[in-house]
A = this chain, B = another copy of it.
Amino acid sequence: MTVVSVKQALSGKLEAGSKVTVRGWVRTRRDSKAGLSFVNISDGSCFDPIQAVVPATLGNYENEVKHLTAGAGVIVNGTLVPSQGKGQTFELQTESVVVTGFVDDPETYPIQPKQHSMEFLREVAHLRPRTNLFGAVTRVRHTMMTAIHRHLTEQGFFWINTPIITTSDAEGAGDMFRLSTLDLANLPRDDKGKIDFRKDFFGREAFLTVSGQLNVEAYALAMSKVYTFGPTFRAENSNTPRHLAEFWMVEPEIAFADLSADADCAEAFLKAIFKAVLDERADDMTFFAERVLPEAITRLETFISQPFERIDYTDAIEILKKSGQAFEFPVVWGVDLQTEHERYLAEKHIGRPVVVMNYPEQIKAFYMRLNDDEKTVAAMDVLAPGIGEIIGGSQREERLDYLDRRMTKFGLDPATYGWYRDLRRYGTVPHAGFGLGFERLLVYVCGLTNIRDAIPYPRAAGSAEF
């Protein structure tokens, strides 16, 4: 017997009549009057389970097979035969069933073969990958994450693991998590009575990173094309459906690039990921389209099929002013775009993804490159129908005197950014990059509404993890 995954067994690549072993967990069992049982078995390798047709003649039929319930672990040996059932390619004529584990108290097993609420499933995070929905989310997540690596590797990028523990706040991006090994009940004090962080693990205050961008810039200015891809942390707003305290972020950074090259890079990047999902996860995407969001597939196809539009922020403001829409937030040159504005632009005015470029300098971060008009910086946001802002990026200020001026304006002390300034002193080149929060993209692809459903262990009080 050859051990095969359910995916292999259903693929049609094995000859009918092959003797195989399939291993997995029971989804459903149905007993026929003809003295047979139909046991659907899933192993997570693909969306569909395989049907094992189990004859009553098996020695353990009465005392084991007829007691199988959803979730039981089984090893089934049999012969692969074309299926008569609709929607099934192959099924298993079963020769033996080994039960590795029954389900204790099947009535209370949380993952019954029925629809569960998302709230309930967040409370049983350790079991929810056994559902159709979270099996599919897990596979799509894998495909998107590995497609990111594959695409960037093909383009000549190198993955740089910038530090998770850091002493600097990359963007002033809000509350950070402090990290310490000090005994909180007995904090060391200096002679002025202040907490003595020299006694802490790193000899000073340390935090979890909010972005690897500044660090990865140094690598772009040696290796030309690089990216970070790892967990990132924000200690804010954790209890909304749109925010996570811990999320994965990918940050490509390219040397010898202006804002237009950055937008090209972002467009190719998004299209490559979506193409991988459509090519490699057709079964899971069909499920999302049938059960979660009808346009789940078509909107990705549309996304891929057309070039992104590009407009200037200044033009975007004019479009919004002339739109005749009653926006909640005022439309004035100089303020940041709100979600309502972004969605109007992408969904109603343009109808496909749009890159808005060259934002007012006073609303953007210190490291963004000042344009010749001295009023705007070379920043961009990629907006898309159905999601709004999906990517934020910029050309970086590569001129030391401009950078210093901008730092001072933002209340930052250039002296504390010595190594970052060095990069502008030693062979500076134009460079640019962008950042993308991975889970937001996954939520969009799967048609989910709560970002907690895009991570393996949702962080909610009372869940399995916390």
Give the B-binding residues of A (Cβ under 8 A): 3, 5, 7, 23-26, 43-45, 71-73, 75, 100-104, 109, 111, 124-127, 129-130, 135, 138-139, 141-142, 145-146, 149-150, 153, 156, 158-167, 175, 177-182, 184-185, 187, 194-195, 201-204, 208, 215, 218-219, 221-225, 230-231, 233, 235, 238, 245-246, 248, 255-256, 398, 419-420, 422-430, 455-457, 459, 461, 464-466
Contacts and interface: CB of A to CB of B under 8 A. Distances in A.
B195 A165 contact: no
B184 A195 contact: yes
12 contacts: A44-B223, A45-B225, A71-B427, A124-B419, A126-B423, A141-B158, A142-B158, A161-B456, A177-B180, A178-B181, A181-B235, A215-B457
A452 B162 CA distance: 13
A166 B142 CA distance: 22
A413 to B, nearest CB: 17
A188 to B, nearest CB: 11
Contacts of A457: 162-163, 215
| Copies of this chain, tallied across the complex | 2
Query: Which among A43, A124, A160, A427 has the highest number of chain B CB atoms within 10 Å?
Result: A427
A87 B195 CA distance: 59
A253 to B, nearest CB: 12
A373 B231 CA distance: 43
Nearest to A180: B178
A139 B164 contact: no
B427 A218 contact: no
Nearest to A152: B146
B180 A180 contact: yes
Nearest to A461: B203
